[in-house]
Structure 1
Amino acid sequence: MNDAVLQAIRTRRVVRAFTQDPVGRDQLEAVLDCARHAPHAGNRRLHRYAAVTSPPLLRALRMVSPGMLQRPMAAIVVCVDWPQVHAYGISPGNPGPYIDVGTACATLLLAAHGAGLGAGPVTSFSRTAVATILGLPQGVAPELIVCLGHPAAEQPPAMRRRGGPAWQDVVQWERG
Structure 2
Amino acid sequence: MTGPGPAAGPVLAAIRTRRVTRALTDEPVRAEDLHTVLRSARYAPHAGNRRLHRFVAVDRQHLLDAIRLFSPGMLQRPKALIAICVDENRVRAYGFPPHKPGPFIDVGTAAATMLLAAHSLGLGAGPVTSFSKAAVATLLGLDPGVTPHLMVCLGHPAPEQPPGMNRARDPWDDFVQWNRG
Corresponding residue for 1:66?
Answer: 72
Counterpart residue identity of residue 52, structure 1: V
Equivalent residue of 1:112, what SS? helix
Specify the alignment match of 2:9 in structure 1.
Answer: 3
What residue is the counterpart of 1:145 in the other structure? Answer: 151
Question: What is the one-letter code of the residue matched to 1:29?
Answer: H
Which secondary structure does the structure 2 equivalent of 1:36 belong to? helix
Instruction: State the partner residue of 1:107.
Output: 113
Of 21, 44, 48, 1:15 maps to 21
State the 1:115 CA deviation.
1.2
| Unpaired stretches in structure 2, ≥5 consecutive residues | none
Equivalent in the alignment of 2:37: 31
Which structure 1 residue ranges, 4+ long, deviate > 3 Å from structure 2? none
Structure 1 regions of 5+ residues with no counterpart? none
* Aligned residue type for 1:4: P
SS at match of 2:28: coil
Structure 1 residue 171 displacement after superposition:
1.7
State the AA in 2 paired with 1:172: Q
- Give the secondary structure class of the aligned counterpart of 1:146: strand
Aligned to 2:179: 174
Distance of aligned partners of 1:148 and 1:3 in 2 relative to their CA distance in 1, 3 Å threshold: same
CA distance in 1, matches of 2:161, 2:125: 12
Residue 25 of structure 1 and its aligned partner are, at CA, apart by 0.6
- Displacement after TM superposition at 1:38 (Å): 0.6
For residues 114-173 of structure 1, what are the alpha-carbon distances to aligned partners after superposition, in whole Å with 9 as ceiling and x for unaligned? 11100001111000000000101111100001100000001111111164422x332212
TM-score (norm 1): 0.96
1:48 matches 2:54 = yes
Query: Aligned Cα RMSD in Å?
Result: 1.0
2:175 maps to amino acid = V
Q: CA offset at residue 67 of structure 1? A: 0.6
C-alpha distance in 2, partners of 1:140/1:162?
A: 38
Letter of the structure 2 residue corresponding to residue 94 of structure 1: K
- Give 3-state SS (helix, strand or coil) of 2:179's partner: coil
Using structure 2 for the length normalisation, give the TM-score.
0.93
Cα distance, 1:37–1:7 mapped onto 2, change above 3 Å: same
